C-alpha cells in the first residue's frame, strides 16, 4: 500500500510538473512518447514479469489505433463515443488473451517459438492493413481522424496522454506487487514447478499477454485522435522492435524502466537522428550490450533497492485460511507399462498403499523409481495400466489437478525460484488450493503464514530471512526450502525424490525428523525414493523394492533385508 501511494505521488507529481519545464513542441512530442511508454509498460508486464518475449507488441497498438480511428471518423458526435473507445481498448486485450490461450494451450512452448509467432502475427496484421483498402485506407492509412470531442486542442495532447500514462503506471505498479505478480515471475522461472503448486501456467501467461494487449490497445486508442492519423507503420516490425529495445535498456522487470526507456530514448532519438546519421546503429549496439552485460537494464539495478527501503517486510504475518479439502493419501497402481523409445522402463508395475505413513521406494539404478513418480504425475504417460491416486481413478494424470487435490512432489534436483525471496517461495506454496481470484489481486495473501510454516521456520531458522533472495542460498538450504515448499502446500500424498541428496549428516537428520513430523501431523502418506539404507531404516514404515520396472518385494525393513531375491539383485549374484 505504501508502495502504491509512493508511486502515485512520484508519477503524478513528475508528469504534472514536467509540462511546465518544457516548451510546446517538446510537450507535444512527449505526449506521443507517453503513449509509446504505455505500450512499453505492456512489454514490461509480459516480458519482464511473465517471461514472454513478444516481438509483436505493435499488433495491439495498431488494432487499438485502427478501431479508435474508425470509431472517431464514424461516430465523432455520438453520445456513445467514449464507451465505444473504452471497448476499443478491450478488444486488443481480449485479442492478447485469446492469442495466449491458443498458443500456450496444451503444450509448454519454447520461448523462442512464441517470439517468432508474435512476429508472424504482426507481419500478418501489416499485410492486412495495407491490402484491405476499403476499411484501413491501405498504405496511406486513416487520414483526418478527428480529435477527442472537447479535448481536441493541441494543448490537450499532453494532458490526455500524461493522465493515461499515470493510470497505466499505477496499474502496473499495483499488479507487480500482488500475488499475481509473484506468480508471473515464478512462471517465467519455472513453469513446471508452478503447475506442481496447483496453478495453471498457461492461464497466467495468457492473462499477462492480455493485460499487455490492453495497455498496447490503450496507447493505440489515444494515438489515433492525438496524431489525427493511423498508418500501417504501427504494425511494422520496427516499432515493435523499439518497444523491446526501450524496455530492455530502461529495465524490463521494473515499473519505471519501460517508461524511462520509451520517453528517454524516444526523445534522444528525436534530437539526435538529425545530427548523428549513425544514431540508430549506436542504439542497436547499446541494445546488444545491454543483453550481453546488463541484462536487467538501467533501473533493474536501482528500483529493487528503493522498493526494499519503502516496504520492509516487517508487516505482521496473518494466518492463511484453511486449504480446500484434500483426498486421503492412498495409491493403487495396477499393471503399469511404460516404454520410451525402445527402452521399457516400467514392466507390469503394481503397487498399493492404503493407509497414511512413510513408504520408501528402493532399487538399483534404472529400476524405474523416478519413472514411477513421473508416470503418477503425468510427466510421462504410461502405455497401459491403471492408477488410482488419492482414491480417484486417474486416466491421464496432470500435476496441476493433482496438486489441487493434495499431492506434493519434490524433484531430485532442488526446484526453487531463484529470483524470488524466501518469503515469496513459501507464499507460493501457501497459496496452493487456498487463494481465490480476488485475493490474487490484493496484498493480504503476501503475509500469510500457517502452523506448518511456523514450525518449519523454527526447525530451519534461515527460512525467517524473509526478503533474502533464494539465488543466494547454499545447496543444502535449497534442498530444505524445496521440501518446505512441498510441505507448506499441506499435501496428503508426498512424493520425495532423494530429499537428502547432497546434504551433510546434521542436515540429513533434520530433514528426516521434519518428514516424520510432517507426515504425522498432516496425516499424510510420504513416498520416498532413497538409496541410503540407513535412512530407509530410520524412516520407512514399509519398503517397496523395484527391479527392472517391476515390484520385486515389499515389506518392513527387516523383511526386505531377509529377502533372497532382494539380496541377489543388490549383491550382484546370478539371477
Partner 1 sequence: MDGLLVAHGLNISFEIVVLALVSLGLAITLGLLGVLNLAHGEFVMIGAFSAFFVQSQGWPYLAAFPVAILACGAIGWPVEKFLIRPLYARPFDAILATWGLSLLLREMVEFFFGRGFNSVAQPIKGTVNILGADYPAFQIVVMLAAIALIATIVFWFLRSVTGRRIQAMVDNPDLAKAVGIPVDALARNTFVAGLCLAGISGVLLAPIVAVHPSMGIDYVLKSFFVLVVGGLGHILGLVIGSGVIGGAEATVSAIIDRTSGYSFVLILSLLFLWRRPNGLVAR
Q: Applying CB under 8 A, which residues contact partner 1? A: 53, 55, 102-103, 105-107, 109-113, 115-117, 119-121, 123-124, 127-128, 131, 237, 241, 244-245, 248, 277-278, 280-281, 284-285, 287-288, 291-292, 295
Cβ closest to partner 1, residue 295 vs residue 312: 295
Q: How far is the CB of 121 from partner 1 (least distance, A)?
A: 7
24-43 and 156-177 helices, crossing angle to 10°: 30
C-alpha pair distances (Å), 486 with each of 316, 405, 406: 23, 13, 10
Q: Which is nearer to partner 1, 111 or 562 (CB)?
A: 111
**Could you tell me the smallest distance in angstroms from the CB atom of residue 140 to partner 1?**
18
Ranges assigned E (strand) in 303-383 = 318-319, 331-340, 343-353, 357-362
Q: How far apart are CB 287 and partner 1 at their closest, in Å?
A: 4
Of 16 and 278, CB closest to partner 1: 278
- Smallest separation (angstroms) from partner 1 to the CB of 360: 33
Nearer to partner 1, 53 or 553 (CB): 53
The least CB distance from residue 294 to partner 1, in Å, is 11
SS3 for 50? coil
Query: Measured between alpha carbons, how far is 504 from 545 in angstroms, rounded to an integer?
Result: 26
What size, in residues, is the chain?
Answer: 575
User: Of the two residues 109 and 501, which places its CB atom closer to partner 1 in the complex?
Assistant: 109
CB atoms within 10 A of CB 198: 26
* Cα distance between residue 219 and residue 64, in whole Å: 7
Nearer to partner 1, 276 or 534 (CB): 276
C-alpha cell at 158: 499532453
Query: Of 52 and 145, which has the nearer Cβ to partner 1?
Result: 52
The residues pairing with 551 across neighbouring beta strands, listed in sequence order, are 546
Residue 307, Cβ neighbours under 10 Å: how many? Answer: 17
Supply φ then ψ for residue 290, to 5 degrees. Answer: -60, -45
Nearer to partner 1 by Cβ, of 2 and 102: the residue is: 102
Q: In this complex, which beta carbon is closest to partner 1, that of residue 413 or of residue 534?
A: 413
Q: How far is CA 75 from CA 68, 81, 149, 222, 544, in A?
A: 10, 6, 11, 16, 74
The phi and psi torsions of 133 (rounded to 5 degrees) equal -50, -45
Q: Rounded to an integer, what distance in angstroms lies between the CA atom of residue 494 and that of residue 160?
A: 55
Quick one: 225 or 266, whose CB is closer to partner 1?
A: 266
Q: Are strands 550-555 and 542-547 parallel, antiparallel or unpaired?
A: antiparallel
Pairing of strands 525-529, 448-449: unpaired
In which region does residue 185 sit, left (phi positive, over 0), alpha (psi from -120 to 50) or beta (all else)? alpha
- Residue 246 C-beta: closest distance to partner 1, Å: 13
- CA 134-136-141 angle, 5° bins: 120
Closest to partner 1 by CB, 237 vs 443, is 237
Q: Find the shortest distance in angstroms from Cβ 258 to partner 1.
A: 15
- Are residues 407 and 472 in contact, defined by beta-carbon separation less than 8 angstroms? no
Decide: 225 and 68 in contact? Cβ < 8 Å: yes
331-340/343-353 β-pairing: antiparallel
Please state the closest distance from residue 171 (CB atom) to partner 1, in A.
26
Query: Closest Cα partner for 433 from 448, 416, 443, 421?
Result: 448
Residue 103 C-beta: closest distance to partner 1, Å: 7
Of the candidates 190, 193, 194, 216, the residue with the CA atom closest to the CA atom of residue 203: 194
* CA-closest candidate to residue 48, choices 218, 230, 259, 224: 259
| Lookup: cell for 451 | 502452523
DSSP lists the bridge partners of residue 277 as none
Please report how close the Cβ of residue 425 comes to partner 1 at its closest, in angstroms.
22
Closer to partner 1 by CB, 257 or 499: give it.
Answer: 257
Minimum distance, C-beta of residue 277 to partner 1, in the bound complex (Å): 7
- Closer residue to partner 1 in complex, CB, 82/301: 301
Cβ of residue 112: shortest distance to partner 1, in angstroms?
Answer: 5
DSSP H/E element including 542: strand 542-547
Least Cβ distance, residue 356 to partner 1 (angstroms): 40
Amino acid at each position: 500500500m505504501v508502495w502504491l501511494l509512493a508511486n502515485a505521488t512520484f508519477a503524478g507529481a513528475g508528469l504534472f510538473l514536467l509540462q511546465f519545464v518544457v516548451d510546446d513542441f517538446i510537450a507535444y512530442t512527449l505526449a506521443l512518447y507517453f503513449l509509446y511508454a504505455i505500450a512499453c509498460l505492456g512489454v514490461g508486464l509480459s516480458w519482464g514479469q511473465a517471461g514472454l518475449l513478444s516481438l509483436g507488441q505493435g499488433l495491439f497498438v495498431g488494432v487499438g489505433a485502427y478501431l479508435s480511428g474508425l470509431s472517431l471518423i464514424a461516430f465523432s458526435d455520438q453520445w456513445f463515443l467514449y464507451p465505444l473507445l473504452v471497448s476499443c481498448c478491450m478488444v486488443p486485450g481480449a485479442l492478447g488473451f485469446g492469442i495466449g490461450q491458443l498458443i500456450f494451450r496444451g503444450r509448454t512452448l519454447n520461448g523462442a517459438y512464441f517470439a517468432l509467432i508474435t512476429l508472424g502475427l504482426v507481419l500478418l496484421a501489416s499485410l492486412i492493413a495495407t491490402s484491405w483498402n476499403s476499411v484501413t485506407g491501405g498504405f496511406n492509412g486513416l487520414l483526418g481522424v478527428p480529435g477527442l470531442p472537447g479535448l481536441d486542442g493541441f494543448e490537450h495532447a499532453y494532458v490526455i496522454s500524461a493522465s493515461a500514462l499515470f493510470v497505466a503506471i499505477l496499474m502496473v505498479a499495483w499488479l507487480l506487487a500482488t500475488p499475481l505478480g509473484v506468480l508471473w515471475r515464478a512462471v517465467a522461472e519455472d513453469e513446471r514447478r508452478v503447475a506442481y503448486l496447483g496453478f495453471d501456467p498457461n492461464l497466467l501467461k495468457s492473462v499477462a499477454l492480455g493485460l499487455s494487449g490492453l495497455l498496447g490497445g490503450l496507447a493505440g486508442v489515444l494515438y489515433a485522435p492525438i496524431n489525427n492519423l493511423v498508418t500501417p507503420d504501427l504494425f511494422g516490425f520496427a516499432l515493435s522492435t523499439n518497444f523491446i529495445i526501450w524496455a530492455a535498456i530502461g529495465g524490463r522487470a521494473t515499473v519505471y524502466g519501460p517508461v524511462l526507456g520509451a520517453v528517454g530514448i524516444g526523445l534522444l532519438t528525436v534530437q539526435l537522428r538529425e545530427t548523428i546519421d549513425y544514431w540508430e546503429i549506436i542504439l542497436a549496439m547499446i541494445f546488444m550490450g545491454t543483453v550481453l552485460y546488463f541484462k536487467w537494464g538501467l533501473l533493474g539495478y536501482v528500483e529493487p533497492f528503493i522498493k526494499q527501503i519503502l516496504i520492509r517486510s516487517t508487516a505482521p504475518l496473518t494466518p492463511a485460511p484453511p486449504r480446500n479439502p484434500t483426498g486421503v493419501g492412498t495409491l493403487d497402481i495396477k499393471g503399469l507399462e511404460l516404454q520410451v523409445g525402445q527402452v521399457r522402463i516400467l514392466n507390469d508395475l503394481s503397487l498399493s498403499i492404503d493407509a497414511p505413513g512413510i513408504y520408501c521406494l528402493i532399487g538399483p539404478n534404472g529400476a524405474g523409481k523416478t519413472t514411477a513418480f513421473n508416470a503418477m504425475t503425468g510427466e510421462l504417460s504410461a502405455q497401459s495400466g491403471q492408477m488410482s491416486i488419492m482414491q480417484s481413478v486417474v486416466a491421464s494424470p496432470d500435476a496441476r489437478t493433482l496438486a489441487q487435490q493434495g499431492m506434493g512432489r519434490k524433484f531430485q534436483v532442488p526446484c526453487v525460484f531463484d529470483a524470488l525471496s524466501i518469503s515469496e517461495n513459501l507464499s507460493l506454496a501457501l497459496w496452493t488450493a487456498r487463494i481465490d481470484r480476488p485475493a490474487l489481486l490484493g496484498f493480504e495473501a503476501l503475509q500469510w503464514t500457517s502452523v506448518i510454516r511456523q514450525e518449519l521456520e523454527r526447525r530451519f531458522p534461515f527460512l525467517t530471512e524473509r526478503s533474502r533472495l533464494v539465488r543466494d542460498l547454499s545447496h543444502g538450504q535449497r534442498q530444505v526450502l524445496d521440501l518446505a515448499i512441498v510441505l507448506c502446500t499441506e499435501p496428503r500424498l508426498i512424493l520425495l525424490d532423494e530429499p537428502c541428496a547432497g546434504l551433510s549428516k546434521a542436515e540429513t537428520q533434520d530433514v528426516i525428523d521434519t518428514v516424520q513430523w510432517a507426515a504425522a501431523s498432516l496425516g499424510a502418506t510420504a513416498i520416498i525414493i532413497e538409496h541410503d539404507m540407513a535412512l530407509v531404516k530410520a524412516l520407512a514404515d514399509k519398503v517397496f523394492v523395484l527391479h527392472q520396472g517391476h515390484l520385486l518385494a515389499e515389506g518392513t525393513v527387516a523383511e526386505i533385508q531377509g529377502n533372497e531375491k532382494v539380496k541377489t539383485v543388490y549383491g550382484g549374484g546370478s539371477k
